[in-house]
Amino acid sequence: MIKSLGYAAKHSFSRMKPLEFERAEAGPDEVQIDVLYCGVCHSDIHQVENDWSNTVYPCMPGHEVVGRVVAVGNGVTRHAVGDLVGVGCMIDSCRACEPCHEGDEHHCEGHNSWLATYNGPMKPAAMTDDGVNTYGADNTYGGYSNSLVVNEDFVLKIPSNIPIEAAAPILCAGVTTFSPLRHWGVKSGDKVGIVGLGGLGHMAVKLAVAMGADVTVFTTDKDKIEPAKALGASEVVIEGDKDAFRKLELSFDFILSTIPEKHKVDPFITLLKRNATYCACGALDQIPGYNNQELIMHRRSLAGSLIGSIKETQDVLDFCAEHHVAPDVQVIDIQDINDAYKKVKNEDVRFRYVIDMASLKREMEDA
């Protein structure tokens, strides 16, 4: 067993604190990773606070992980000791269902859905119809720790020209926005709307601009107008500006919402062209009622998108390397994680916190 240390919450109302635990050593098809950096995702906060009613405690978040391979099983062929690698939202899936066979592991239809990097399977055994736990464990501990052990098929290669600390958010915020942009065929010349300008939203802007799209950002925060333009947006619209919305009716090829909470979609439906799509990738809450007539009259679509596949995650890493795209990050020590959570909730970060896990190693040395 590998003696490990991380930061975890023991209850929905508790602060993140150090937690000693053990990981099993790398099996034949697994790699052991020394964690160097880990991004702070808004979903980490949702999970810690049990906003989705599926959290298993202790909860040790972290699914934007960049590190160095320090050991490999005797069957590993894709990675070697010394490789710089990444781990995103998943560390396994059932491998047997139709989505898994088609390369959509993030839509796994096995008993427990895919195995999350932290907080166990997407559906813990107690929440399944038959109580079956495919993976043999009700909980997993994520990247707010000094080490990870992951099956090699779910480990990504980090291109050498992406700054190590900036690579971390690409593994969630990057693929979560890249996947719908590519799935709905965003291309050069398309008019694309991005709703929200946080960790996901700012990556969506950068990726859509790199794809050649004309990007408009929708935000409730006037302080984000200049940052949005600096990221490449050609226009910024303040939500609630009825005149601005009226002028944009029937003009968008695609709108992507990155807001992590429930919000009204009605104002955006009328902005879509005929056959165009509004896609939500940030919120897991119920969508408030909308006017279905507006969908029917112009054959518009409402859609959703969940993270992305392993292939898409590698694709977005390679795309970012090719187009020199990287998230804007603020590096913090693990000891500052509770304060960081407060600032994320208050939208006081530009645009993604990334934990330097060397701070955890110093804590281990001082213990």
Domain membership flag for residue 309: no
Identity of residue 195 = V
Structural domain boundaries enclosing 268: 174-304
Taking only the tens place, the pLDDT of each residue in 306-320 is 999 999 999 999 999
CA distance 171 to 354: 12
- The residue among 250, 271, 304 that closes a domain is 304
Domain membership flag for residue 343: yes
Judgement on whether residues 293 and 334 belong to the same structural domain of the protein: no
Taking only the tens place, the pLDDT of each residue in 14-55 is 999 999 999 999 999 999 999 999 999 999 999 999 998 889
The predicted pLDDT at position 261 comes to: 83
- Angle at which helices 310-323 and 199-210 cross, to 10°: 60
pLDDT at 124 over 70: no
Judgement on whether residues 214 and 288 belong to the same structural domain of the protein: yes
- Asked if 344 and 352 count as a contact pair (C-beta separation under 8 A), the reply is no
The predicted pLDDT at position 120 comes to: 85
CA distance 152 to 154: 5
- The domain total for the chain is 2
Domain membership flag for residue 310: no
Domain membership flag for residue 312: no
**Which pLDDT band holds residue 281 (cuts at 50, 70, 90)?**
very high
Judgement on whether residues 128 and 248 belong to the same structural domain of the protein: no
Judgement on whether residues 162 and 22 belong to the same structural domain of the protein: yes
Judgement on whether residues 67 and 135 belong to the same structural domain of the protein: yes
Judgement on whether residues 9 and 96 belong to the same structural domain of the protein: yes
Judgement on whether residues 167 and 43 belong to the same structural domain of the protein: yes
Mean pLDDT for the stretch of residues 200-225: 97
The predicted pLDDT at position 367 comes to: 59
Judgement on whether residues 209 and 84 belong to the same structural domain of the protein: no
Domain membership flag for residue 51: yes
CA distance 252 to 118: 37
How crowded is residue 36: how many other Cβ atoms within 10 Å of its Cβ? 21
Mean pLDDT for the stretch of residues 232-249: 97
CATH of the domain at 210: 3.40.50.720
CA distance 125 to 21: 22
CA distance 331 to 151: 28
Taking only the tens place, the pLDDT of each residue in 245-260 is 999 999 999 999 999 8
Q: Which of 153, 98, 105, 168 is nearest to 316 (CA)?
A: 168
Domain membership flag for residue 230: yes
Mean pLDDT for the stretch of residues 160-187: 97
Average model confidence (pLDDT) for the chain?
94
Q: What is 170-234 written as a DSSP string?
A: GGTHHHHHHHHHHHTT--TT-EEEEE--SHHHHHHHHHHHHTT-EEEEEES-GGGHHHHHHHT-S
* Whole-Å CA distances, 273 to 129, 230, 268, 366: 42, 27, 11, 60
CATH of the domain at 47: 3.90.180.10
Taking only the tens place, the pLDDT of each residue in 76-120 is 999 999 999 999 999 999 999 999 999 999 999 987 889 999 998
The predicted pLDDT at position 286 comes to: 79
Residue 22 neighbours by CB under 8 Å, 6+ apart: 1, 2, 3, 4
Domain membership flag for residue 150: yes
Q: Which of 280, 255, 62, 20 is nearest to 150 (CA)?
A: 62
pLDDT at 129 over 80: no
pLDDT at 280 over 90: yes
Say what the pTM is: 0.94
How crowded is residue 114: how many other Cβ atoms within 10 Å of its Cβ? 28
The predicted pLDDT at position 138 comes to: 74
Mean pLDDT for the stretch of residues 193-201: 96
Judgement on whether residues 75 and 91 belong to the same structural domain of the protein: yes
Residue with tokens 């098809």: 29
Judgement on whether residues 263 and 124 belong to the same structural domain of the protein: no
Judgement on whether residues 83 and 200 belong to the same structural domain of the protein: no
Domain membership flag for residue 262: yes
- The residue among 289, 304, 319 that closes a domain is 304
pLDDT at 64 over 70: yes
pLDDT at 365 over 80: no
- Asked if 267 and 243 count as a contact pair (C-beta separation under 8 A), the reply is no
Judgement on whether residues 100 and 178 belong to the same structural domain of the protein: no
CA distance 31 to 13: 34
- The residue among 304, 338, 356 that closes a domain is 304
